[in-house]
Amino acid sequence: MKSIVIIGFGGFGREVDWLARECGRTVRGFLDDNATPGKKGNYTILGGLDTWSAYPDTELVVAIGNPRIRRKIVEKLVSQGVTDFATLIHPSVNMDETVDVGKGTMICAGSIATVDIAIGDHVILNLNVTVGHDDEIHDFVTVAPMVALSGNVTLEEGVEVGTGAAIRQGITMACGSMLGMGGILTKDSEANTIYVGSPAKPLKHLPEFI
């Protein structure tokens, strides 16, 4: 199996290093424009993003929590010819064979996805997320730890859900919207809008996702 190069040497990037190793993969190192190349403890910074082609026999994974930044980087890499993105699913994740998972997606320890679920490309499901029946999680969604998604929930492209939030069954979060940590979402969200509280209400607008 190809070794892994992780894009983004932030806190989540280091968690993805652990995730990859737990998946039995070898991590070659990190690419990050804002880190100095060399050894940092147990980690190796290989260089900036544009050096990816120096590692031809690897798969990349973009380990950056912000959906807008993650999409920008993926689009740049794809435009430069990258096709090999790793899908990393921690061995403790419990999911039925009717769950589809796209490329470049990371599913962290303790998460559960039940049945008939579609999870897109470059999605992050962090620790202990529960995903209910018939949910649709589109590309570039980020779900923080301990989130509960009821059944028939749709998270459109670039949605972000904060730690410990919960979403009622049948709800759709529109493209680029966000639910803050601890929020309880009981109605569909509007695109590119942050919601907080219980029941969640709009707080402010975000830049357009598309």
Ligand X SMILES: CC(C)(COP(=O)(O)OP(=O)(O)OC[C@H]1O[C@@H](n2cnc3c(N)ncnc32)[C@H](O)[C@@H]1OP(=O)(O)O)[C@@H](O)C(=O)NCCC(=O)NCCS
Residue ranges in contact with ligand X by CB under 6 A: 126, 144-145, 162-163, 180-183, 194, 196-197, 203
Kindly tell me which of 46 and 119 has the beta carbon lying closer to ligand X: 119
The neighbour count for residue 100, using CB atoms within 10 Å, is: 11
Q: Is 54 exposed, middle or buried (0-12, 13-18, 19+ CB in 10 A)?
A: exposed
Nearer to ligand X, 86 or 179 (CB): 179
CB of 135 to ligand X, least distance (A): 19
Choice between 8 and 47, CB closer to ligand X: 8
Measured from the CB atom, the residue of 27 and 124 that comes closer to ligand X is 124
Q: How far is the CB of 40 from ligand X (least distance, A)?
A: 21
Angstrom distance (rounded) from CA 87 to CA 101:
8
Q: Which residue is nearest to ligand X (CB)?
A: 180
Residue written as token pair 């290093």: 17
CB contact at 8 A, 41 and 25: no
Give me the least distance between CB of 143 and ligand X, in Å please.
9
CB 88 within 8 A of CB 106: yes
Please report how close the Cβ of residue 15 comes to ligand X at its closest, in angstroms: 9
Decide: 183 and 197 in contact? Cβ < 8 Å: yes
